[in-house]
């Protein structure tokens, strides 16, 4: 038999039936409400507590439109995720879906995008957590963590120590187990939604229509750039699908949790955005730390609402970091099981039924990013990784419909094929709005991925050893 060509090796696919046969060693303990809480927990707080300070200067009050564009894009993609998650209910999310539909090299690239997405997102929200922790300490005790210990080099500090502490605490909780993490996250989700609704109610009392004019001061280009930045806040949808092998009745639970989380998140985001830009002039958002807490203090003339919001942000951002770090460990678990990266990441501890060593490795990497990289660089890189993964998922739906039309699906995208096509179009539109620096950093990341694929993954792939 002749050796397979290089092209056939790059495009080899992992059969859907093989996903179903694999025994991961992970325990199916997560129910539908807990999983929906994962989606809400990974999303609300990822950006809403601090992204306005970046997005409003880019779009002005028209940032409201930017949120709508980002939400519509996330909505189309969520429907595509729901179909693939119900068809291939395994760990790995977009990586696994790409492996089944578009081939090994695409899946590997998507896997690296997801590693970037989750690592950078976890680090970015940890930096935001540090800002709100300082605000809370200032309001309650009149003290602040010194700048040298609460900011990365390039952001006025030496190391962001609170961010590193947060990453460490999340890693310890994840090592205890997925169900324990889900229960802790559920409590934090209730707290964060309640705090944000409190913000909305109070901020609307200070709403001034004059703050909305001029509405689109930066034009259509500004709205597009802001939408690309804001999309960073919708990463949680992907996190839901990473739990495919730890969910009870996954074909039903995964689609329900993905769509349910999207609805809750979108409503909360739009309410916060409208109330915030109505309560404070757009020019005052730029460079504002713990911005939502500051808005409440100005509206009420008192510190207690800001204290409550800062405390809520500290709790809610903890849950975001927890779930995004969970998602990254499961992406790496799936890639490791397929031979794409070393087996370290797919070793499950017999006592906790979690990938302990992989979790520690993730914590070290994320902690380094959180402690030493400024926030601005992190946000746009997360958006790029997320949008590329979302684009592949949308294409994967169309490929799988064509190649395996009879595959069991617990959910089907309504309006097919229009919805997947629109999802791809919106994702590409937002990618176009990202900065040139982001493109260069992303290209460098993929170049590293290519080197690792050629030197390791190509020869260690399980599909190579099984002759597929």
Please write the tens of the pLDDT for every residue from 309-368: 778 778 877 888 888 888 888 889 889 989 999 888 988 888 877 888 999 999 998 888
**At how many degrees (to 10) do helices 94-101 and 104-141 cross?**
170
77/69 Cα distance (integer angstroms): 12
Question: Which pLDDT tens digit goes with each residue over 402-448?
Answer: 988 888 888 899 888 999 999 999 888 888 878 888 888 888 888 99
Q: How confident is the model at residue 24, as a pLDDT?
A: 60
Q: What is the pLDDT of residue 200?
A: 92
Beta bridge partners of 150: 160
Distances (CA, A) of 107 to 78, 232, 449: 19, 21, 12
Q: For the chain, list residues with pLDDT below 70.
A: 1-10, 20-27, 45-47, 154-155, 178-179, 232, 235-236, 289-290, 374-380, 465-468
Average pLDDT value for the chain: 82
Q: What angle do helix axes 178-205 and 291-300 make, rounded to 10 degrees?
A: 40
Q: What is the pLDDT of residue 65?
A: 93
Whole-angstrom distance, CA of residue 345 vs CA of residue 358: 4
What does the pLDDT read at residue 1? 42
Domains, the chain, in order of start with CATH, read: 30-465 (1.20.1740.10)
Whether the link from the prior residue into 214 is cis, omega within 30° of 0, is yes
Q: How high is the pLDDT of residue 4?
A: 55
State residue 424 phi and psi, 5-degree precision: -60, -45
Q: Using alpha carbons only, give the angle 30, 234, 29 rounded to the nearest 5 degrees.
A: 5
3-state secondary structure of 374: coil
**Contact (CB, 8 A) for 144 and 138:** yes
Q: Residue 466 CB: number of other CB atoms within 10 A?
A: 10
Cα–Cα distance measured from residue 420 to residue 389, given in angstroms and rounded to the nearest whole number: 13
pLDDT for the residue 289: 67
């Amino acid at each position: 038999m002749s050796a397979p060509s290089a092209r056939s090796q790059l495009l080899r696919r992992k059969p859907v039936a093989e996903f179903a046969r694999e025994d991961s060693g992970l325990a199916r303990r997560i129910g539908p409400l807990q999983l929906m809480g994962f989606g809400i927990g990974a999303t609300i707080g990822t950006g809403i507590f601090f992204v306005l300070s970046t997005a409003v200067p880019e779009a002005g009050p028209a940032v409201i439109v930017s949120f709508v564009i980002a939400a519509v894009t996330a909505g189309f993609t969520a429907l595509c995720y729901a179909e693939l998650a119900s068809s291939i209910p395994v760990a790995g999310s977009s990586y696994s879906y790409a492996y089944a539909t578009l081939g090994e090299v695409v899946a590997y690239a998507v896997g690296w995008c997801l590693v970037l997405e989750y690592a950078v997102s976890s680090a970015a929200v940890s930096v935001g957590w540090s800002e709100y922790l300082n605000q809370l300490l200032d309001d309650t005790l009149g003290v602040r963590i010194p700048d040298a210990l609460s900011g990365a080099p390039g952001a006025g500090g030496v190391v962001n120590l609170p961010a590193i502490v947060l990453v460490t605490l999340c890693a310890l909780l994840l090592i205890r187990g997925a169900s324990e993490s889900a229960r802790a996250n559920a409590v934090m989700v209730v707290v964060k939604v309640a705090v944000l609704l409190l913000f909305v109610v109070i901020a609307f009392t200070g709403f001034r229509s004059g703050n909305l004019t001029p509405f689109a001061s930066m034009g259509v280009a500004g709205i597009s750039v802001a939408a690309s930045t804001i999309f960073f806040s919708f990463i949680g949808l992907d996190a839901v699908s990473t739990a495919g092998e730890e969910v009870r009745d996954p074909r039903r639970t995964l689609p329900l949790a993905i769509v349910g989380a999207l609805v809750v998140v979108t409503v909360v985001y739009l309410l916060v955005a409208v109330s915030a830009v109505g309560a404070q002039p757009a020019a005052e958002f730029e460079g504002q730390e713990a911005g939502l807490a500051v808005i409440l203090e100005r509206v009420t003339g008192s510190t207690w609402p800001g204290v409550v919001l800062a405390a809520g942000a500290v709790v809610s951002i903890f849950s975001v970091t927890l779930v995004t770090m969970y998602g990254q460990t499961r992406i790496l678990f799936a890639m490791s099981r397929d031979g794409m990266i070393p087996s370290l990441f797919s070793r499950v501890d017999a006592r906790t039924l979690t990938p302990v060593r992989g979790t520690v490795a993730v914590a070290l990497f994320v902690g380094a990013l959180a402690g030493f990289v400024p926030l601005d660089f992190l946000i746009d890189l997360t958006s790029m990784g997320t949008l590329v993964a979302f684009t592949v998922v949308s294409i994967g739906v169309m490929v799988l419909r064509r190649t395996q039309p009879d595959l069991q699906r617990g959910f089907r995208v309504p309006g097919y094929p229009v919805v997947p096509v629109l999802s791809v179009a919106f994702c590409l539109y937002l990618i176009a709005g990202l900065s040139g620096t982001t493109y260069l950093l992303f290209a460098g990341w993929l170049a590293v991925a290519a080197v690792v694929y050629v030197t390791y993954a190509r020869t260690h792939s399980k599909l190579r050893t099984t002759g597929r």
